[in-house]
Amino acid sequence: MTRFRGLNYRRPAYLLMLMNLLGFGLLFVKNGYNLNMLYVGAGLLGLFIFIYSIIVLCNMGDKFIVLMACMLITIGVLLLCRLNLEFGIKQIIWVAVGGVVFFASYLIYYHIRFWHKLWMFYGILGTGLFLATLILGTTVNGSRNWITFGGFSFQPSEITKILFIMLLACYYSGAWEKPLGRITPKWMTLLITYLFIGFLVLQRDWGTILVLFAIYLFMIYVYEKTYGFLLMNLGAASLVAVLGYRFLYHIQVRVSTWMDPWADISNKGYQITQSLFAIASGNYFGRGLGNGSPGYIPEVHSDFIFAAVCEEMGVFGGAAIIILFFLIAYRCFKIAITATEPYDKAVCLGLTLMFAIQTFIIVGGVIKMIPLTGITLPFVSYGGTSIVVNFISLGIIQAISAKEERRGGGKGGK
Amino acid sequence: MTFYTLLSSIFSYFFTIIIYLFIFGVIRLIYLDVKKMSRFEDESVNVSGLETAALRTMLSRSHAESELKKRYMIYGHAMIGRNKSCDITLREKYISGEHVRIWHEDGEWYLEDLGSRNGTIINGQRIRNTVILDAQDQITLGELHFVFEL
Amino acid sequence: MANKKKPAEQPEMIKKGYSANRRMIHVLVAVCLMFLSLVTYLLYFNMFEAREVAANPYNKRQWEDERFVKRGNIYDRDGVLLAETVVDGDNRTRRYPKGNLYSHVIGYYSRVYGKSQLEMAYDKELLGHGDITINFNELRSGYDLNLTIDHDLQQYAYSQLSGRNGAIVALEPATGKVLCMVSYPDFSPNAKTLEQNWSAIVEREDSPLLARATQGLYAPGSTYKIATAAAAYESGRMAETFQDTGVFEQDGMKVANYGEKAYGELGLKRGFELSSNFVFCTLGYEMGAQKVLKKAEDFGINQGFSFDIATSKSRIEYKKMVDADSALVSIGQGQLLMTPLHVAMMGASVANKGKMMQPYLVNSITTASGVTLATTRPSMAYQPMNQECALYLDELMRGVVANGTGTGARISGITVAGKTGTAENETNKDHAWFVGYAPAEDPKIAVAVLLEYDGGAGGSNAAPIARRVMQKYLQ
């Protein structure tokens, strides 16, 4: 490809490395020349180099998505290390696990070719996870969405998101057309969607409800050629929303704190106002890593990490995160559009929407553009389940893009 | 103002610059990548200024089918085989590393079998040496069937 | 191509006008807009809302710098300590040795209720922002403020108010330096007391938190005749005589003189000295709304001026001002409201040959070690009249004190010029006003006194206070 001079995949990778070096070097100084910081940084950098080289060397399809995800992880880990070194180290371990899971899901998805036949499996597994959460779950911050066993806890709703997408893809790729009893697959998907949402209402996990429902609506828009079904669902959603607002105290509180968080700063509006204080004190370039006080924000390591980014790396840093997510979404959309197998197309679309919507909901919530619903910011927030599930999604998208490139006779390669 | 605060405030500008350079670099790569792809995929544009022809894939029951493109473009000259270095790479077990060569010369399209193990069949007839191709000729390579199009 | 698609689905997919890919591009556009809106909102927030949000007292970041900084002291013009920070281990206490005296000038400083007045306006300077000297974990000192206030005068003025609600402002006419600025009622700015009594203070009917001198808006009453006389001078009506019947009647509106006295035939000068409403209503009515409003704006009314601490903007609020309204405004009533500080500036501008100086409180900013970082330079805010006009007004104002309504301000051996005012308001107790300066030949001090809902006349109640303040300063 000599015709494309300067098509150098290494330059952004070098910048990523530089970011890591400077970032961890700075934290090294901050923590009183604590060598652990350098080990942590070196570990993360090694991990990135390892993952990225395998992708490039084995020609595993798209080379940008993982690179951008690495940048997001870098920003996230830098802040986590700065907030609490322990969180940072745990996060890096999760990233390492995520890397393994990434390649595993890549290989599994690439080689198994009957995903589109497994709709019943997805539905039953999803329902099972929900039931398990309801029975075994523990309540954290008012949402009953954690399962703990043996000192190890995870959020099943993160996994059900992927199952849900794969289930939708079964129908919308046209692979699932046999009715179950007298219910056609279209109504079956509708039923399962509302069943899942019902479970999530019981768990009070409003963020995930929004994500699942938005994915469902967008899928309907893309695949149903008439608008009737979409409008019907929208109607149902608004009805439920209005009823929820009338009768559920939780939702009323969320809306009222969104409209005027200043009315009750020390109580209901505490989280969001602390987040706004952080963003407001960051200005354009931020106060500098370690100079701010993101510690005042509750849940700063998970849901509110975006506010911490804005405080310490500035509004420009925050905007950069949004841009990175947009670029990831753009690449994934491109893969979805060029994918030839309908099932791959639908899965890729669903996963892309998952990233995009999740980012929009939490970032919009943290900056008070929309009512706040707790949900993690993919790749940046602290959280094992979130990191692993996001890596699984990336692995699947990577596999789809690799299939597509190889089908093209190696033409799309390097 | 402590030393660290000052250092960190200075670094905050570096970070912003690095992140945006990174974003810019990625955007540029994506742009070049899309441009490159479009040169290969857009069939209506003949960037090379050469004669073009195409091999249209016919449906067959081969296990490799899912990885086949609908149509392979040939710009003046194409080497076809299993090797990655070929202009058209076909990953199919009955195709040799370098299987056939198709090229344009003096207003005619030629096909030459490069001594493949399983041979090349054109319109049902196995060929051993160079032949001139006509439009709508059926070409069989291993278990794959194509139609030659001008 | 791949044959995974079921035949039943196939025709549906190929139907005209529909393509999954096209719909996907729509979704991509939607996602793009979503992200764009996020970035836009973030930038919008940072540009237009962030400043206010960050200054919210609940934002604990504001108090962070305090851990490393000893907040600067505040001194009067002679170096009398007015505010200091006492460091005791990790505790910082802001101490105000003069108690309530400066509660409306320096303000308060509370972790719960935030900051006010100079503590707020000069927060950055007091914390020594912009100091780039690097030191290692040492307690750094913020910058000190040196005010233009004369503490003795401030204390004296405060004692002269003696518990009456109102305000006294004294300025140096030539520079705009604030020599004293007292507002009453006041409160204890000590953070601890303030936090304990906050709700009581806020709920008190006489609103002690209102800095009357700078933020209280009052009808200026007859003191505003200074501006009207300036307008009349410019219209060349000095030689005219008026037939004062005691009541001005026009367009169904009646305005009586103070005490409903009829002065008979008199000129502008005598009308000013006696504070005849008839004369000035007639002038205002005849000059018309346009001219009266124009003159008010020359004096900075409806325009505002910058000051070290927050001020209310003096204003004339009419949707459409008619000539009858201008008659009322000309005697300082109607919809005209001014702050005591602005009234003092009006008086000072006559004293300063027609130049209204920018008032200021902070004379200089110095480092803890005594290096002066910045000194405020006097500057002119408005020029409401020319020098001849100012000299003419000076003559009128001298007359008021010499043989008019303001005799209460007379000081033996010093020529005092001034103007009294008794402003009607929504209650039946008038505000008593006096604005004046001395010595008239070379004015050193201009004073405005306001007694809120006093019920008495400016000449009898406000003028003696002004006299004593001027006398004290000129000793």
* C2 contacts B65? CB cut-off 8 A: yes
Helix boundaries (H) for C352-456: 387-403
What gap in Å lies between CA C212 and CA C451, rounded to an integer? 10
Residue C410 DSSP symbol? -
C136 touches B at CB < 8 Å: yes
Determine the average pLDDT of the residues in A382-395.
92
Q: Which residues of B touch C135 (CB under 8 A)?
A: 1-2
**Max Cα separation, chain C?**
114
> What CATH number did the domain enclosing C406 receive?
3.40.710.10
Minimal CA–CA distance to A230: which of A178, A172, A176? Answer: A172
Asked if C470 and C445 touch (Cβ cutoff 8 Å), the reply is yes
d(C-alpha C400, C-alpha C273), whole Å: 4
| Distance from chain centroid for Cα A347 | 15
Give pLDDT, residue C224: 92
pLDDT lower than 70: segments of chain B: 1, 35-50, 59-67
pLDDT in tens, C209-223: 889 999 999 999 889
Q: Using CB atoms, pick whichever of B9, B22, B69 lies closest to residue A409.
A: B69
Check pLDDT > 70 for residue C103: yes
Average pLDDT over residues C299-315: 90
- More confident position, A284 or B48: A284
Cβ–Cβ gap A409/B7 under 8 Å: no
For A155, phi and psi rounded to 5 degrees?
Answer: -105, 105
Does C135 contact B at CB distance below 8 Å?
A: yes
B47 shares contact with chain A (CB less than 8 Å): no
Q: Which residues of B touch C132 (CB under 8 A)?
A: 1, 6
Establish if C69 belongs to a structural domain: no
Alpha carbons C347 and C353: distance in angstroms, whole number: 11
> DSSP string of C257-321?
PGGG---EEEEHHHHHHHT-HHHHHHHHHHHHHHHHHHHHHHTTTTT----SS--PPPEE--SS-
| Residue C17 reports pLDDT greater than 70 | no
B12 touches chain A (CB under 8 A): yes
Q: Chain C contacts of B3, Cβ < 8 Å?
A: 134, 136
Residue A414 in any domain: the answer is: no
Question: Is A412 part of a structural domain of the chain?
Answer: no
What is the structure's pLDDT at C127?
82
Pairing of strands C69-70, C140-141: parallel
CA-based nearest residue in chain A for residue B19: A320
**Nearest CA distance, C175 vs chain A (angstrom):** 37
Model confidence band, residue A346 (pLDDT cutoffs 50, 70, 90):
very high
Alpha helices in C216-267 (DSSP H): 225-234
Q: Which residues of C195-204 are buried (b: 16+ CB within 10 A; e: fewer)?
A: eeeeeebeee
> Is A191 a member of any domain?
yes
- pLDDT for res C31: 93
Average pLDDT over residues C38-52: 91
**Interchain pair B12, A327: CB under 8 A:** no
Band of residue A165 on the pLDDT scale cut at 50, 70, 90 = very high
- Residue C79, Cβ density class (10 Å: 0-12 exposed, 13-18 middle, ≥19 buried): exposed
Chain B residues with CB-CB distance to C128 below 8 A: none
What pLDDT shows up at residue C318?
A: 85
pLDDT band at A412 (very low <50, low <70, confident <90, very high): very low
* C1 interaction partners in chain B (CB closer than 8 Å): 57, 59, 70
Q: pLDDT-based confidence at C208, cuts 50/70/90?
A: confident
Q: How far is the C-alpha of A231 from the C-alpha of A224, rounded, in Å?
A: 11
Q: What is the pLDDT of residues C219-247, one digit of tens each?
A: 998 899 999 999 988 888 888 888 888 88
- Residues contacting B19, CB < 8 A, separation 6+: A19, A71, A75, A313, A316, A317, A320
* The pLDDT value given to residue C131: 59
Q: Domain count of chain C? A: 1
Interface contact B25-A12, CB threshold 8 A? yes
Closest by Cα among C104, C125, C74 to C189? C104
What pLDDT is attached to residue C93? Answer: 84
Among the partner residues C12, C18, C43, nearest to A315 by beta-carbon distance: C43
Task: Give a yes or no: residue A413 inside a domain.
Answer: no
Residue C150 lies in a domain: no
Task: For residue C386, give both structure tokens.
Answer: 């020319």
Domain span at residue A14?
A: 2-407
Convert the pLDDT of each residue in A83-119 to its tens digit. Answer: 888 888 999 999 999 999 999 999 999 998 888 888 8
Inter-chain touch C38–A177, beta carbons under 8 Å? no
CB contacts of A334 in chain B (<8 Å) are 34
Mean pLDDT, rounded, for C270-279: 87
The shortest C-alpha distance from A384 to chain B (Å) reads 25
Least confident of A146-160, A184-198, A305-319, C17-31: A146-160
Q: What mean pLDDT comes out for the span C293-311?
A: 89
Check CB contact of A325 with chain C, cutoff 8 Å.
Answer: yes
For residue B67, the model assigns a pLDDT of 64
Q: Write the pLDDT tens digit of every residue in A18-58.
A: 999 999 999 888 888 888 888 888 999 999 999 988 988 88
**Closest approach of chain A CAs to the CA of B31, in angstroms?**
10
What average pLDDT does the segment C12-16 reach?
40
Cβ contact, residue pair C136, B65, below 8 Å: no
Whether residue C439 is contained in a domain is answered as yes
pLDDT at A398 over 90: yes
**What is the pLDDT confidence band of residue C426, given thresholds at 50, 70 and 90?**
confident
Domain count for chain A:
1
Q: Is residue A267 part of a domain?
A: yes
pLDDT tens, position by position, A199-219: 888 888 888 999 999 999 999
Which residues does chain C have within 8 Å of residue A331's beta carbon, measured at their own beta carbons? none
Q: What is the mean pLDDT of residues A389-401?
A: 94
Question: Of A180, A177, A162, whose CA–CA distance to A348 is shortest?
Answer: A162
Tell me what pLDDT residue C347 has: 92
Distance CA C330, CA C341 (A): 19
Nearest chain B Cα to A32, which residue? B4
- Please report the pLDDT score of residue A8 as a whole number: 60
Chains contacting chain A through 3 or more C-beta pairs under 8 A: B, C
List CB contacts (< 8 A) between B32 and chain A.
4, 6-7
User: Cβ-count burial of C288 within 10 angstroms (0-12 exposed, 13-18 middle, 19+ buried)?
Assistant: middle
Name the pLDDT band for C171 (thresholds 50, 70, 90).
very high
> What is the structure's pLDDT at C130?
63
* The pLDDT value given to residue C133: 57
Is there a contact between C359 and C341 (Cβ–Cβ < 8 Å)?
yes
User: Which chains contact B through at least 3 pairs of Cβ atoms less than 8 Å apart?
Assistant: A, C
C78 pLDDT above the threshold of 50:
yes
Using CB atoms, pick whichever of C8, C28, C53 lies closest to residue A280.
Answer: C53
Could you list the beta-strand ranges (E) of C6-80.
Answer: 69-70, 74-75
3-state SS class at C434: strand
Q: What angle do CA A171, A175, A180 make, to 5 degrees?
A: 65
Query: Would you state the pLDDT for residue B38?
Result: 58
ipTM of the complex: 0.91
The residues that bridge with B65 in the sheet, in sequence order, are none
What's the Rg (C-alpha) of chain C?
A: 29
- DSSP class per residue in C307-373: -SS--PPPEE--SS--HHHHHHHTTT-TTEEB-HHHHHHHHHHHHTTT-EEPPBSEEEEE-TTS-EE
pLDDT of residue C351: 92
CB-CB under 8 Å, A410 with B84:
yes
> Would you tell me the crossing angle of helices A384-407 and A65-83 to the nearest 10 degrees?
170
Kindly tell me if the per-residue pLDDT of C404 is higher than 70. Answer: yes
Print the domain residue range for C412.
214-361+381-474
Are B1 and C1 an interchain contact pair (Cβ–Cβ within 8 Å)?
Answer: no
pLDDT category at A151 given cuts 50, 70, 90 is low
Chain B contacts to C (CB-CB under 8 A): 1-3, 6, 57, 59, 65-66, 70
Please judge whether A12 and B22 are an interchain contact, meaning their C-beta atoms are less than 8 angstroms apart.
Answer: yes
Q: Tokens 């009737």 correspond to what residue?
A: A228
CA distance C325 to chain B (A): 58
Instruction: Classify residue C311: in a domain, yes or no.
Output: yes
CB distance B2–C68 less than 8 Å? yes
C19 contact residues in A (CB cutoff 8 A): none
Nearest to A287 by CA among A262, A319, A268, A309: A309
Arithmetic mean of pLDDT over chain A: 86
Minimal Cα distance from B59: which residue of C? C1
In our burial notation (b when 16+ CB lie closer than 10 A, e otherwise), range A8-21 reads eeebbbebbbebbe
Residues of B in contact with A325 (CB under 8 A): none
DSSP secondary structure code for residue C430 in this structure: P
Reply yes or no on whether the pLDDT at A80 is more than 80: yes
Contact C310, C107 (CB under 8 A): no
Is the pLDDT at C348 greater than 90? The verdict is yes
